Amino acid sequence: MKKIGIIGTGYVGLVSGAGISDFGHKVICADIDKEKIKEIKKGNILIFEPGLKEIIDRNVKSQRLSFSSNIENTIKQSDILFIAVGTPESASGKADLTYVENAALKIAHNLNSYKIICTKSTVPVGTGKKIKEIINKNKPSAVLFDYVSNPEFLREGSAVKDFLWPDRVLIGCENNKTYESMLDVYRPLFRNKKPIIKTDIATAEMVKYASNAFLALKISYINEIANLSEALGCDIKKVADLMGQDGRISPKFLHPGPGYGGSCFPKDTKALSNLAKQENIPLETVNAAIKANIYQKKRMFSKLKALLKNRVKGKTIAILGLSFKPNTSDIRESSAIEIIKSILKEGGIVKAFDPISNNEMKLIFPDIKYFSDWEKTVDNADCMVIMTEWNEFRSLDLKELKNRLKKPIIFDTRNIFDQNKLLELGFSFDTVGRKKIINY
Ligand code: NAD
C-alpha cells in the first residue's frame, strides 16, 4: 500500500483519488478551495459522474480515502504526489501553468522525505523539466525526488470507468525504480492486462496533447462534412456510419453536432497550436480544427434563425441540454452557452432544462428561466432545440412534444430524432448534416 497525495481535487483529482484508493492505496485528496473540501467531506461531491459517489463512499468508509485543505500536511504525509490542478487557457491561448507551478513550489517547500512527484494535469511538452527545476531550486538540498509525467485520458461522462479500465497508462519517467513504484500504484490494472507503458517525460506529455487534438480534429472534420452534406442533399448519419465501418477510421468521434466543447479540447488544441508556433513548426490541421469549431458553434444560431424565418425577437425558445455532453454536469465551453447568448442578443426568450447542470448554467445566465423537466420547458414555446443528447431526450414522446409546443418546430443539433417520425407528425425541423424541413 502506498501513501498518495492528490494536489487539486477537481474533476481529474477527485476521480483519480477515488480510483487509486479503490486500488487499495491510502489517498488524501487535497485542494486549496476550502469550501469545496468542506462540501465533499459532507458527502456533496459537487460534480455529477456516473459511479463516482459510490466509489468515494466505499473508500471513505474503509478509511482509504480522505479529503483535506491542508496542502502542506498532505505533501508531508505522502510517498507519491499527483499534481491534478487546472491548466486553463491563458489570454494568449497558451496553457496557463500558474497553478501547476504554485503546486510544484508548495511541494518543494514541504518536501520532508524522498517522494515521487507525478503530473496528471495536461501540460505542454517541456513542463516536466520546468517543474523539476522549480522543485530542485526550492527544496531542502538533502531530500531527493523523482519526477513522472502520467497524463490522464479519462472522459467526462464515463470518468470512473475510464480510470478503472483505461486503454493504457503512460508513465513518463527517467529510471526503472520510479517506473516500478508507479507500477505498484496501478498494480490492479496490470493484473487486468491493461498496458502500463514507460516512456520519457516529454513523450508522455506529447501523447496527451496529440491525442486530444486528433479527436478534436476528427469532430471538426465530420462537422464540416455534415455541413457539406446538408448543402448537397446527403444524409450525414448514413455517411458517418458507413465511413466508420472502415476499421482504419472507426465510428468513434464521427458524430456531427454543434461543435466540441468541454474543459479539454478547446484549450488543449490552442495550447498545442501555440507550442508549435513557438517552435516555428506549421500545425495547420490543428489550426483548421480550431477554426472549424468556432464556425460550427456560430453556425448553430444561423440555422436556428433560418428555421424561425429570421424572426427571433420575442420568440420563446426551449433549450434541452446545457452540459457540453451527456452524463456530466460540466458546462465549460458548452455549445449551449454560445446559442443562448445569441438568442438573448437578438431579443429571444430562453427556457432551459438540463437533467444535471441547471445550477451550473445559472451562474452564467442567471436571468433565464430553468425547469426541472422537458415537458414544462417546452410548454408553449415557439421552438425546441436539442443541445445535448441526454438519453432521456432520445426517448421523449414526440406527439406530446407537438401538443405542448406553440408551434411544432425543432432544431435537433445532435441528430437524435427519427426524421420520418418528425415528418409524419408534421414538425418543421432542422438537424446537422441532414435534410431541413420547413412547412409552416
Ligand atoms: P478542475 O478545474 O476541475 O480542478 C482543478 C482543481 O485544482 C480545483 O479544485 C482547484 O481549486 C485546485 N487547485 C488549484 N491550484 C491548487 C493548488 N496549488 N493546490 C491544491 N489545489 C489546487 O480541473 P480538471 O478538469 O480536474 O483538470 C485538471 C487537469 O487535468 C487539467 O490540466 C486538465 O486539462 C486535465 N484533464 C482534464 C480532464 C477532464 O475531463 N476534466 C481529462 C483529462 C485531463
- The answer, yes or no, to whether residue 193 has pLDDT greater than 80, is no
Please determine, for residue 189, whether its predicted confidence score (pLDDT) is greater than 90.
Answer: no
Alpha-carbon 41 to chain mean position: 24
Given phi > 0 = left and psi -120 to 50 = alpha, else beta, which region is 117?
Answer: beta
Residue nearest to atom 18 of ligand 1 (CA): 103
The protein residue with its alpha carbon nearest to ligand 1, atom 44, reads: 152
Decide: 7 in ligand 1 pocket, CB within 6 A: yes
Any catalytic annotation for residue 234?
A: no
Phi, psi dihedrals of residue 245, rounded to the nearest 5°: -75, -15
Asked if residue 117 lies in contact with residue 148, where contact means CB atoms within 8 angstroms, the answer is yes
Mutate-to-test residue for ligand 1 from 29, 75, 263, highest number of ligand atoms within 8 A of CB: 263
- Give the mean pLDDT of the chain: 96
Please classify residue 291 by burial: count the beta carbons closer than 10 Å to its beta carbon, then call 0-12 exposed, 13-18 middle and 19+ buried: exposed
pLDDT category, 188, cuts 50, 70, 90?
Answer: confident
Q: Could you tell me if the CB of 87 is within 6 A of ligand 1?
A: yes
Ligand 1 touching residue 33 (CB < 6 A): yes
pLDDT at position 332, please?
94
User: Is pLDDT above 90 for 190?
Assistant: no
pLDDT at 192 over 80: no
CB burial of residue 437 (10 Å; 0-12, 13-18, 19+): middle
pLDDT score of 305 more than 80: yes
**DSSP one-letter string for 298-336:** HHHHHHHHHHTTT--TT-EEEEE--SSSTT----TT-HH
The CA radius of gyration of the chain, in Å to the nearest whole number, is 24
Q: Return the pLDDT at 357.
A: 96
Is there a contact between 402 and 410 (Cβ–Cβ < 8 Å)?
A: no
The Cβ of residue 330 has, within 10 Å, a number of other Cβ atoms equal to: 23
Q: What is the mean pLDDT of residues 388-408?
A: 96
- Residues of 50-80 as b/e, b for ≥16 C-beta within 10 angstroms? eebbebbeebbeeebbbbbbebeebbebbbb
Q: Which of 29, 118, 264, 383 is catalytic?
A: 264
**Where does the pLDDT of residue 46 fall: very low under 50, low under 70, confident under 90, or very high at 90 and above?**
confident
**Sign of the dihedral defined by the CA atoms of residues 36, 329, 211, 261, in that order:** negative
Per residue in 266-300, pLDDT tens? 999 999 999 999 999 999 999 999 999 999 999 99
Decide: 170 and 178 in contact? Cβ < 8 Å. Answer: no
Kind and range of the H or E run holding 413: none
pLDDT tens digits, one per residue of 10-31: 999 999 999 999 999 999 999 9
| Residue 156 CB less than 6 A away from ligand 1 | yes
Q: Which of 356, 4, 426 minimizes the C-alpha distance to 182? A: 4
Q: Tell me the C-alpha distance between 31 and 53, whole Å.
A: 18
CB of 12 closer than 6 angstroms to any ligand 1 atom: yes
What confidence category does residue 181 fall into, taking pLDDT thresholds of 50, 70 and 90? Answer: very high
Q: Does residue 85 line the site of ligand 1, with CB under 6 A?
A: yes
Residue 234 CB neighbour total at 10 angstroms: 16
Ligand 1 atom 3 nearest Cα: 10
CA of 95 to the centre of ligand 1 (A): 13
Of all atoms in ligand 1, which is nearest to the CA of residue 87?
32
Whole-number Å distance between alpha carbons of 271 and 216:
13
DSSP structural state of residue 385: E
Task: Find out whether the beta carbon of 379 lies less than 6 Å from any atom of ligand 1.
Answer: no
Average pLDDT over residues 230-254: 96
Calculate mean pLDDT across residues 171-183.
96
311 contact partners, CB below 8 Å, separation of at least 6: none
Mean pLDDT of 421-440: 95
Distances (CA, A) of 358 to 181, 353, 366, 371: 42, 6, 10, 8
pLDDT digits over 61-97, tens only?
999 999 999 999 999 999 999 999 999 999 999 999 9
DSSP state at residue 232? H
Percent of residues, the chain, with pLDDT higher than 90: 95
Among protein residues, the one whose CA lies closest to atom 29 of ligand 1: 121
Protein residue closest via CA to atom 25 of ligand 1: 11
Mutate to test the pocket of ligand 1, among 6, 16, 31, 105 (most ligand atoms within 8 A of CB): 31
| Residue 309 alpha carbon to ligand 1 centre in Å | 43
The reported pLDDT for the residue numbered 261 is: 97
- Is residue 323 predicted with pLDDT exceeding 80? yes
Report yes or no: 87 and 99 within 8 Å, Cβ to Cβ. Answer: yes
Tell me the pairing of strands 169-172 and 196-199: parallel
Q: What span, in angstroms and rounded, lies between the C-alpha atoms of 128 and 324? A: 30
* Residue 412 pLDDT grade (very low, low, confident, very high; cuts 50, 70, 90): very high
State the pLDDT at residue 94. Answer: 93
Instruction: State CA 95 to chain mean position distance.
Output: 16
* Ligand 1 neighbour 261 (Cβ under 6 A): no
Mean local confidence (pLDDT), 100-116: 98
Measured from the CB, is residue 323 less than 6 Å from ligand 1?
no
The answer to whether the CB of 223 falls within 8 A of the CB of 335 is no
